[in-house]
Copies of this chain bind each other. A is one copy, B any other.
Amino acid sequence: MIPRALLDHINANYRESLGDLLDFLRIPGVGADPAHASDVRKSAAWLLGYLTRIGLDARLYETPGFPVIFAQYGKTPEAPTLLLYAHYDVAPPGPPEEWTVSPFIPVVRGGLIFARGAVDDRGQLFSVLQAIACTISVDGGLPVNVKLLLEGEEEIGSPGLGAFIREHKGLLCADIVVVVDILKYRSDMPAAYYGSKGLLSVTVDVSGPSVSLHSGIYGGDIVNPADVLVRILGSLKNADGRILVPGFYDRVREVTPEERSDFAALPFDRDGIKAMLGVEPVAQEEGYTPLECVMARPTLSVNGLWGGALPGAPLMIIPASAGALVSFRLVPDQRPDEIYRLLKAHVDSLIPPGIGVNLHIDSCHEPFVTSRDSIAVVIVSRALEAAFGQRPVLVRSGGTSGIVPMLKKAVGVQDIVITGWGDPGDGEHSSDEHFSIENYRRGIVATAAIMYELAIIKGETPAR
C-alpha cells in the first residue's frame, strides 16, 4: 500500500515535472539514424544529469554502440531489491508528412503530450523517475533498494546489452525485475505481461549463376535462385498456418486450460482492428483463437523479399541471386538455436545442385514465461490495481523482449514481469505518438506502489 502522504504529494506535484519531460523529448535520440548518433549520446548525458539531480547514484557505461546508464538508490543488504528496465532511445519518426506536429518539438494538447518517444519509452521512463523522486522527497528514502537499467539501443535490437549484462552481473542482482516498456492491453485495461515470445530472424540468401541471365535462353537449363527461394519459403508453412519445419513443435509448451479460459474471457476488438488495418483479424493457426495465436503459439513470417526485377520494371531474367528475411516468434520451451538447426537441416534438404543457400541469423532471443503466481506478477498486479482502480489482465506478449532472457540467463533472476501505462492507440513506432498526462500520473503512482508492495510482500515473506 502506497502511503497517503506520498499519493497526495504525487498528485500535487506531477505536473511540475512535465517541463523536464518535454526537455528530454526535445533531444532526437534516434539510434537507427547515423545523423542522430550524437543526439543519442546527448540524451544519455541529459538523463545522467537528471538522475543525479533527483538523488540517484548514476553512471554511464560505454558499449560499442550507445551507452547503458545504470543508476541505483539504497544498498541496504537486508532490504529487497527492485530492478527496473526502460530505454532512453527512440524509434525513427518516419515520414514527417504523416505527423500533424513536429516529432521533436513536443506539444501538449487536450491532456496529451505529442512527440516521438512520448510513450515509448521516455514518458514511461519518466514516470519511474518521478516515483523515485517523490518518494525520496516525502519519505526521505525508498522502501526497497532500487536499480535502474536504462538502455540506449532498444530500438535497434539491443546489440550491446548482452555483453553489458554478462560483464556486470553483480551490479544487476535483484529480487524482481520490472520491464517498463509495453502498453496496456486496452486503454481501460492495465496489463501485467508474464511472458513474451522468443525470436529467431534469419536472412536467407540464395545464389546461382555468376550473373543474371536471359530467362528464355537459360530458363530451360540453369536453376533459378528465385525459384529455389520461393520453393524453400513456400515449404515452411501450410495454408492452415502450421509450420512444416520437421521438429518445430517438439518443445512447444501447450497453452494451459487455465490460460485458454482466461484468454477467451479477454475482450478482442475484431471490429476495431478491422477499422484500423483494413483487414479482419483471423487466427493464423488452425485449432487456436486469434488471441492464443498472438500470445502463446509460435508463428512464422516472411518479413521481406528481394532479388531480380523491380516493381514496375519488368525484366525477364533469371536473377543471379534472391533473398528473404524470415522470422519465427517462439514460445516456451522452444530454443532459437535449436530451431535454427532444424531450419537449416530442412533448407539444406531442398537445395538443388548449382545453388548456394546461406542462412544468416539476424536476431536470436529466447521466449519467456513466468508463473502467474510469481511475486513479480502479484506485486505489479496489485500496483496497477492501486494506480488504475481496476484489476489488470494477465497476458503474454506476442512481441519479443531482448532484455528479459538476457537477465534470466546471465543474472539468474527468474521473477520478471513486463508492464507499462501507455495506451495501444498512442502511436508507438507510428506518427503523432503521444502519451496521456493522466497515464503519466498513474504510472508514477504504479511505480511507487510497486516499491511499497515489494517491501510489504518481502516483509510478509520469511527471510530467504
A353 to B235: give the CA distance in the assembly, Å. 21
A311's partner among B230, B235, B299, B323 (CB-CB below 8 A) is B323
Question: Does A220 contact B353, Cβ atoms closer than 8 Å?
Answer: no
Which of B220, B280, B290 is within 8 Å of A299, CB to CB? B220
Q: Which residues of B contact A327 (CB under 8 A)?
A: 215, 316
Q: Is A409 an interface residue when CB atoms closer than 8 A count as contact?
A: no
A38 at the interface (CB under 8 A from B): no
Q: Distance (Å) between the CB of A298 and the closest chain B CB? A: 9
- A219 touches which of B222, B279, B299, B318 (Cβ 8 Å): B299
A294 in contact with B221 (CB, 8 Å):
yes
The docked-state distance in angstroms from the alpha carbon of A229 to that of B311 is: 14
B299-A310 in contact (CB<8A): no
A5 interface residue (CB < 8 Å to B): no
**How many chain copies?**
2
Contact A306 B306 (CB under 8 A): yes
User: A45 within 8 Å of B by Cβ?
Assistant: no
- CB A118 to nearest CB in B, in angstroms, measures 18
A219 engages B398 (CB within 8 Å)? yes
- Known interface pairs A230-B234, A399-B214. Does A354 touch B305 (Cβ–Cβ under 8 Å)? no
Closest beta carbon of chain B to A112's beta carbon, Å? 21
B230 contacts A305, C-beta separation under 8 Å:
yes
Bitwise, A270-306 to B at CB < 8 A (1) or not (0) is: 0001001111111111000011111101011111111
Nearest-neighbor residue (CB-CB) of A321 within chain B = B311
Residues of chain B within 8 A (CB-CB) of A213 are: 277
Q: How far is the CB of A419 from chain B (nearest CB, A)?
A: 16
Q: In the complex the two chains form, is A219's CB within 8 Å of B329's CB?
A: yes
Whether B308 lies near A325 (C-beta < 8 A) is yes
A209–B304 Cα distance when bound, in Å, is 15
Shortest distance between the CB of A61 and any CB in chain B (Å):
26
| A interface residues, tally (CB under 8 Å) | 86
Indicate the member of A227, A307, A429 with the most B CB atoms within 10 Å: A227
A301's partner among B209, B224, B303 (CB-CB below 8 A) is B224
CA distance A322 to B307 in the complex (A): 12
Task: Identify which of residues 223-238 in chain A touch chain B, using a CB-to-CB cut-off of 8 Å.
Answer: 223-224, 226-227, 229-231, 233-235, 237
Closest to A98 in B: B211
Partner of A284, one of B208, B220, B284, B324: B220
Knowing A277-B211, A278-B210 are in contact, say whether A302-B227 is a contact too (CB < 8 A): yes
B221 touches A290 (CB 8 A): yes
- Given the known interface contacts A305-B230, A308-B303, the answer about A282 and B223 at a Cβ–Cβ threshold of 8 Å is yes
Tell me, yes or no, whether A309 is within 8 Å of chain B by CB. Answer: yes
Flag if A221 contacts B311 (CB, 8 Å): no
Cβ A314 vs Cβ B281 within 8 A: no
- Given known pairs A220-B294, A284-B220, A314-B201, the reply for A305 and B305 (CB within 8 Å) is yes
Interface presence of A254 (CB below 8 A) = no
B-facing mask of A63-80, CB < 8 A → 1, else 0?
000000000000000000
A462 interface residue (CB < 8 Å to B): no
Nearest Cβ distance between residue A367 and chain B, in whole angstroms? 11
Q: Complex formed: what's the CA distance from A201 to B222 in Å?
A: 19
- Cβ B316 vs Cβ A301 within 8 A: yes
List 15 interface pairs A-B (beta carbons < 8 Å), by A numbering: A199-B216, A209-B277, A210-B276, A216-B398, A217-B294, A218-B398, A220-B285, A220-B290, A221-B290, A224-B301, A227-B301, A234-B235, A279-B354, A302-B322, A304-B317
The 8 closest A-B pairs by CB, nearest first: A234-B234, A304-B309, A220-B293, A216-B399, A220-B294, A304-B308, A221-B290, A226-B302
> Chain A: residues with CB nearer than 8 A to chain B?
157, 197, 199, 201, 203, 208-211, 213-224, 226-227, 229-231, 233-235, 237, 239, 273, 276-285, 290-295, 297, 299-311, 314-319, 322-325, 327, 329, 350, 352-355, 362-363, 397-400, 429
